[in-house]
């Protein structure tokens, strides 16, 4: 009613509706519009209408009710969750839905409601618009306040660990009132707006922290060391002690480090490298058995107890090689390596042969049995033993034991041998072979003589060497019974402990000698090389040596040596120095593996472009200098092998020029057969030690003897020393026609040693 009376249009509508029934609407009390009355329209007609007043009243009331039915008043309750956003939009909604402003809107702040009053059609339009707006606001609020899972944040697991353990994730969740799911990845749970803000903040943090990777050893023992406790805790403790806030992990051979800044990363890397060190010790040959012994197990236990801090010693196995991997704190690893190397040397059972004639072996077995048994007892303490070999031309004592035990035993056996005299008589008379054969009179007579004089007499027939061992073209005997020999032979058929292969930087073994070794030894050698290169960070450097199995070759191992490639290096001096280093490394590796003999070809010649004479001379000189510097090497024989005569002759020339630079020394010409009479002895002026090779700055080893063979098989040995110390059937003296032994240096020495009987002529009959 208040609306009807206050709205001009509504008042006009009421008046126009009551006029047909001659009525109008009045308010008895002007100050209270809630109470209205319907009265006749004109007082003049009052009397006329009095008779029908009852009908008039009904008619007027019906007309007024019709007017009232065209109006409505609606109340809309606004949800409290969106009340803050609704009032500000009501005027705009009303203007859009009721441009004629026929609807009166009342907003109750206390009730959080909106009341609409006016023509029913207009009220309905405004009500619909408001309710649509409220529905949309409720839907929007529901979305904004719904608890949802945000998208996963892309980051490395180690970065997530870093953010968690530094407390950053906890701080973000509290700030934005969200929850965090960190099971393998980071996902926020909460309202969308809060999640979005948290995600933006996390990505900004990821841009600030430092995440870097560096390659590390992929060896199993190393990974086990750094990824498991107590070793992992030890590394973390070292980082913490340096106040370095870093998180790290090792995967796929890469060390990933996450820190707060680049400076922290550099500090962490430096500390990591100084905290953990790994070294590798390859073990070959006889030393492999030590790793399977109870002594090795006991040694490992002792080592672990002796050093503080985590320490890992593991053994990785390959076909022919085992590697002892020592991993742990840097200050401990080097000391453990030294002790391990010493243990392996002291416990490796090696084999050495002390050569001597068959008769000498039998004599020592029979007459020096007590001394031999005593040596046997000493060796047995170290799992060693002594055996005698009297198989035809191959005779001597085989000593098996540790390196020190072998050296001491071999030295004592040689002393026993030196205390016994051995002489050999050549019998050329017809029928003597049968006469002295077993069961014949001569054999029985020799036995009787042996018993009477307490000696051993043996008969044997010299045999020609078989195809397995060809005769050397030349050889030099060095101090400590070491031999350098030259052979013309196929290296793949040469019988030694190890052979050197002229390899390239990738161990591809294609072409030249390397390919011949693969053809003869089988594909397994190349497969072994391929496995070695997988563990190498890049190609091998010049001078590098690697060891593989022999395959089908008649040796124990192949030492692959990367010599200089003269096609790539035009500086001959540099190439020569690198070749010198390569040969030295070959011999060092052979000794490290416990080998006693090595066959070396003309490395870097052939397909590698090196001048043949330069290569052979460098190989020989490097060998000589190696023996001078490494007196304890296990290598006792080095064979210089050439597949054709040009290479063999070049080695022969290099050996002669290196150790004996004598003029006219040409005992064995290839073009013509040389008779013993044609051999020219070196002049006196040429005698003495060889000149110093200026490019190496020191003398090579001076050999104590030099031997060679003529084409007829006659062995000639040149010995540097006193003629009085030589054991021979005949000594030739140079003397004048007066036969005066008191003149001449040699004559006087013989007279002093042999006595006056030599001068008086009391010479025994021959």
- Annotate 609-639 with DSSP letters as a single string: ---HHHHHHHHHHHHHHHHHH-TT-S--EEE
| Helix residue ranges per DSSP H, 7-145 | 8-18, 46-50, 53-69, 87-97, 120-145
Average the pLDDT over each of 241-250, 392-401, 578-587 and give the range with the smallest value. 392-401
Q: Which two tokens stand for residue 264?
A: 């922290």
Q: What is the pTM assigned to this prediction?
A: 0.36
How many other β-carbons are positioned within 10 Å of the β-carbon of residue 388?
15
Is 562 within 8 Å of 578 (Cβ atoms)? no
In a domain? residue 607: yes
Residue 664 has a pLDDT of 31
Q: Which two tokens stand for residue 195?
A: 């999640």
In a domain? residue 255: no
* 51: three-class secondary structure by DSSP: coil
Please give the sequence-ordered ranges of beta strands (E in DSSP) within 176-222, or none if there are none.
179-181, 187-190, 210-215
Is 14 within 8 Å of 67 (Cβ atoms)? yes
Q: Which residues, in sequence order, are CB contacts of 79 under 8 Å at separation 6+?
A: 134, 138
Residue 625 has a pLDDT of 92
- Name residue 590's beta-bridge partners: none
Q: 288: which DSSP letter?
A: G
The CATH code of the domain that includes 320 is: 3.30.1370.10
Q: Which residue has the tokens 């000794």?
A: 591
Q: Which residues, in sequence order, are CB contacts of 472 under 8 Å at separation 6+?
A: 485, 486, 487, 639, 709
pLDDT band at residue 753 using 50, 70 and 90 as cut-offs:
confident
Distance CA(215)–CA(250), nearest Å, equals: 9
Query: Is the domain of 556 the same as that of 412?
Result: no
Q: Give, in order, the Cα–Cα distances in Å from 612 to each of 424, 575, 608, 617.
A: 42, 13, 10, 8
In a domain? residue 160: no
How many other β-carbons are positioned within 10 Å of the β-carbon of residue 648?
23
Residue 678 has pLDDT above 50, yes or no: no
Higher local confidence (pLDDT), 428 or 693: 428
Domain count, the chain: 5
Distance CA(401)–CA(352), nearest Å, equals: 9
Is 500 within 8 Å of 601 (Cβ atoms)? yes
Please give the sequence-ordered ranges of beta strands (E in DSSP) within 125-207, or none if there are none.
148-149, 179-181, 187-190
Give the structural domain span for 299.
277-347
pLDDT tens, position by position, 201-237? 999 999 888 888 877 655 555 566 677 677 778 788 8
Q: Which two tokens stand for residue 226?
A: 């750094």
- The stretch 651-667 carries a mean pLDDT of 65
Is 371 within 8 Å of 420 (Cβ atoms)? no
Mean pLDDT highest for which of 356-365, 547-556, 754-763? 547-556
- The stretch 71-76 carries a mean pLDDT of 85
Query: Is the domain of 288 the same as that of 362?
Result: no
Q: Give, in order, the Cα–Cα distances in Å from 638 to each of 135, 501, 586.
A: 100, 14, 11
User: What is the distance of C-alpha 272 from the center of its chain?
Assistant: 17
Residue 676 has pLDDT above 50, yes or no: no
How many other β-carbons are positioned within 10 Å of the β-carbon of residue 559?
25
Give percent above pLDDT 70 in the chain.
80
The CATH code of the domain that includes 33 is: 3.30.1370.120
Average the pLDDT over each of 369-373, 484-488, 576-580 and give the range with the smallest value. 369-373
Q: Which residue has the tokens 């191992």?
A: 557
Average the pLDDT over each of 447-451, 684-688, 700-704 and give the range with the smallest value. 684-688
- The stretch 600-615 carries a mean pLDDT of 92
Last residue of a domain, one of 296, 323, 347: 347
* 118: three-class secondary structure by DSSP: strand
Q: Which two tokens stand for residue 69?
A: 């039915």
- The stretch 478-504 carries a mean pLDDT of 91
- Name residue 498's beta-bridge partners: 557, 598
Query: What is the layout of strands, in order, in the sheet containing 187-190?
Result: 148-149, 187-190, 179-181
In a domain? residue 460: no
- Residue 750's H or E segment, with its range, is helix 745-754
Query: Is the domain of 299 the same as that of 371?
Result: no
Last residue of a domain, one of 679, 698, 716: 716
Is 587 within 8 Å of 547 (Cβ atoms)? no
Mean pLDDT highest for which of 6-10, 463-467, 625-629? 625-629
Instruction: Please report how many Cα atoms fall inside a 13 Å half-sphere around the Cα of residue 290, on the Cβ side.
Output: 27
Residue 4 has pLDDT above 80, yes or no: no
pLDDT band at residue 5 using 50, 70 and 90 as cut-offs:
low
Higher local confidence (pLDDT), 393 or 425: 425
pLDDT band at residue 313 using 50, 70 and 90 as cut-offs:
confident
Distance CA(288)–CA(317), nearest Å, equals: 10
Last residue of a domain, one of 323, 347, 371: 347
Q: Which two tokens stand for residue 672?
A: 């013509």
> Which residue in 550, 549, 551, 547 sits closest to 560, CA to CA?
547
Is 576 within 8 Å of 566 (Cβ atoms)? no
In a domain? residue 727: yes
Backbone angles phi, psi at 214, to 5 degrees: -135, 145
Distance CA(734)–CA(723), nearest Å, equals: 12
| Helix residue ranges per DSSP H, 455-522 | 512-521
Query: Is the domain of 18 the same as that of 125?
Result: yes
| Helix residue ranges per DSSP H, 522-607 | 523-534, 572-592
In a domain? residue 191: no
Query: Is the domain of 364 the same as that of 511?
Result: no
Residue 524 has pLDDT above 80, yes or no: yes
**Intra-chain end-to-end CA distance of the chain, in Å:** 171
Query: Is the domain of 548 the same as that of 696?
Result: yes
Question: Is the sign of the CA dihedral 408, 411, 417, 420 positive or negative?
Answer: negative
Residue 246 has a pLDDT of 87
> Which residue in 702, 701, 709, 612 sits closest to 654, CA to CA?
612
Q: Which residue has the tokens 């002892």?
A: 324
Q: 372: which DSSP letter?
A: H
Q: 713: which DSSP letter?
A: S
- The stretch 554-569 carries a mean pLDDT of 91
> Which residue in 248, 259, 163, 244 sits closest to 203, CA to CA?
163
pLDDT band at residue 584 using 50, 70 and 90 as cut-offs:
very high
Mean pLDDT highest for which of 228-232, 375-379, 703-707, 708-712? 375-379
How many other β-carbons are positioned within 10 Å of the β-carbon of residue 67?
17
Distance CA(586)–CA(229), nearest Å, equals: 41
Distance CA(92)–CA(90), nearest Å, equals: 5
Query: Is the domain of 373 the same as that of 519?
Result: no
Is 588 within 8 Å of 550 (Cβ atoms)? no
Residue 185 has pLDDT above 90, yes or no: no
Length of the chain: 766
Residue 662 has a pLDDT of 33
**Peptide bond preceding 364 in cis form (omega within 30 of 0):** no
* 31: three-class secondary structure by DSSP: coil
Task: Return mean pLDDT, the chain.
Answer: 79
Residue 376 has a pLDDT of 81
Residue 53 has a pLDDT of 60
Residue 23 has pLDDT above 80, yes or no: no
> Which residue in 392, 593, 428, 430 sits closest to 499, CA to CA?
593
Backbone angles phi, psi at 516, to 5 degrees: -65, -35
Cα dihedral angle (467, 473, 474, 480), rounded to 10 degrees?
-10
Query: Is the domain of 543 the same as that of 439?
Result: no
Pairing relationship of beta strands 474-478 and 597-600 according to DSSP bridges? unpaired
In a domain? residue 463: no
Distance CA(650)–CA(36), nearest Å, equals: 143
Query: Is the domain of 442 the same as that of 330?
Result: no
Higher local confidence (pLDDT), 49 or 747: 747
- Name residue 600's beta-bridge partners: 640
* 482: three-class secondary structure by DSSP: strand
Residue 636 has a pLDDT of 92
Residue 262 has a pLDDT of 87
Query: Is the domain of 24 the same as that of 134?
Result: yes
Q: Which two tokens stand for residue 149?
A: 């899972």
Question: Is the sign of the CA dihedral 517, 520, 525, 530 positive or negative?
Answer: positive
Summary count for the chain: helices (H), strands (E): 26, 26
The CATH code of the domain that includes 502 is: 3.40.220.10
Residue 308 has a pLDDT of 65
Query: Is the domain of 487 the same as that of 614?
Result: yes
In a domain? residue 270: no
pLDDT tens, position by position, 82-126? 888 888 888 888 888 888 777 888 888 888 899 988 888 888 999
pLDDT tens, position by position, 396-439? 888 887 777 777 888 888 888 888 887 777 676 667 778 888 88
Residue 517 has a pLDDT of 94
Query: Is the domain of 540 the same as that of 443?
Result: no
Average the pLDDT over each of 165-174, 459-468, 618-627, 644-653 and give the range with the smallest value. 459-468
Pairing relationship of beta strands 637-642 and 482-488 according to DSSP bridges? parallel
Distance CA(64)–CA(400), nearest Å, equals: 136
Question: Is the sign of the CA dihedral 641, 647, 652, 656 positive or negative?
Answer: negative
Q: Which two tokens stand for residue 591?
A: 């000794």
């Amino acid at each position: 009613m208040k609306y009807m009376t206050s709205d001009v249009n509504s008042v006009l509508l009421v008046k126009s509706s009551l006029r047909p029934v001659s009525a109008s609407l009045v308010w008895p009390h002007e100050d209270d519009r809630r109470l209205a009355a319907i009265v006749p329209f004109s007082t003049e007609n009052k009397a006329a209408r009095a008779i029908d007043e009852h009908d008039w009243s009904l008619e007027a009331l019906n007309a007024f009710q019709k007017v009232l039915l065209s109006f409505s008043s609606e109340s809309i309750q606004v949800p409290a969750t969106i009340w803050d956003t609704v009032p500000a939009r009501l005027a705009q909604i009303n203007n859009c839905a009721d441009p004629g402003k026929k609807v009166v809107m009342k907003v109750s702040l206390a009730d959080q409601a909106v009341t609409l009053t006016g023509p029913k059609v207009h009220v309905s339009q405004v009500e619909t618009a408001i309710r649509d707006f409220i529905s949309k606001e409720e839907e929007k609020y529901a979305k904004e306040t719904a608890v949802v899972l945000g998208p996963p944040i892309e980051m490395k697991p180690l970065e997530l660990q870093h953010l968690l353990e530094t407390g950053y994730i906890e701080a973000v969740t509290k700030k934005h009132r969200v929850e965090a799911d960190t099971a393998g990845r980071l996902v926020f749970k909460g309202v969308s707006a809060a999640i979005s803000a948290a995600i933006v903040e996390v990505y900004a943090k990821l841009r600030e922290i430092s995440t870097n990777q560096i390659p590390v050893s992929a060896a199993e023992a190393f990974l086990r060391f750094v990824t498991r406790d107590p070793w992992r805790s030890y590394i973390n403790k070292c980082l913490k002690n340096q106040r370095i806030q870093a998180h790290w992990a090792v995967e796929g051979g890469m060390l990933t480090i996450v820190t707060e800044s680049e400076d922290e990363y550099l500090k962490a890397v430096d500390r990591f490298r100084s905290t953990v060190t790994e070294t590798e010790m390859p073990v070959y040959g006889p030393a492999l058995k030590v790793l399977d012994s109870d002594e090795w197990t006991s040694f490992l236990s002792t080592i672990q107890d002796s050093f503080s801090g985590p320490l890992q010693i593991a053994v990785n196995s390959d076909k022919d090689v085992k590697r002892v991997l020592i991993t742990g704190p840097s200050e401990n690893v080097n000391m453990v390596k030294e002790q391990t190397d010493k243990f392996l040397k002291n416990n490796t059972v090696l084999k050495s042969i002390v050569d001597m004639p068959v008769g000498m072996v039998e004599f020592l077995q029979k007459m020096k049995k007590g001394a031999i048994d005593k040596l046997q007892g000493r060796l047995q303490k170290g799992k060693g033993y002594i055996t005698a070999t009297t198989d035809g031309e191959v005779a001597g004592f085989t000593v098996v034991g540790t390196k020190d035990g072998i050296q001491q035993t071999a030295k004592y056996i040689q002393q026993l041998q030196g205390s016994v005299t051995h002489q050999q008589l050549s019998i050329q008379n017809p029928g003597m072979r049968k006469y002295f054969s077993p069961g014949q009179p001569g054999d029985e007579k020799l036995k009787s003589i042996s018993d009477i004089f307490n000696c051993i007499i043996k008969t044997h027939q010299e045999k020609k060497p078989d195809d397995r061992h060809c005769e050397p073209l030349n050889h030099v005997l060095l101090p400590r019974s070491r031999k350098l020999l030259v052979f013309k032979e196929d290296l793949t058929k040469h019988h030694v402990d190890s052979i050197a292969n002229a390899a390239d930087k990738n161990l591809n073994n294609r072409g030249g000698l390397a390919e011949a070794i693969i053809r003869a030894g089988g594909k397994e050698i190349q497969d072994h090389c391929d496995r070695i290169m997988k563990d190498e960070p890049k190609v091998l450097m010049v001078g590098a040596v690697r060891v593989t199995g022999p395959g089908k070759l008649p040796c124990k191992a192949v030492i692959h040596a990367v010599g200089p490639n003269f096609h790539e290096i035009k500086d001959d001096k540099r190439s020569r120095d690198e070749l010198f280093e390569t040969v030295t490394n070959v011999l060092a590796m052979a000794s490290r593996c416990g080998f006693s003999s090595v066959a070396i070809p003309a490395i870097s010649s052939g397909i590698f472009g090196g001048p043949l004479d330069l290569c052979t001379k460098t190989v020989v000189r490097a060998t000589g200098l190696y023996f001078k510097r490494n007196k304890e090497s296990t290598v006792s024989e080095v064979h210089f092998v050439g597949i054709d005569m040009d290479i063999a002759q070049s080695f022969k020339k290099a050996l002669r020029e290196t150790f004996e630079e004598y003029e006219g020394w040409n005992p064995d010409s290839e073009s013509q057969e040389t008779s013993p009479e044609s051999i020219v002895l070196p002049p006196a002026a040429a005698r003495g030690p060889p000149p110093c090779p200026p490019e190496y700055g020191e003398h090579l080893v001076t050999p104590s003897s030099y031997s060679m063979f003529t084409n007829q098989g006659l062995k000639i040995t040149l010995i540097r020393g006193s003629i009085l110390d030589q054991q021979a059937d005949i000594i030739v003296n140079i003397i004048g026609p007066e036969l005066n032994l008191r003149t001449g240096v040699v004559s006087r020495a013989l007279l002093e040693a042999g006595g006056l009987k030599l001068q008086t002529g009391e010479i025994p009959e021959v």
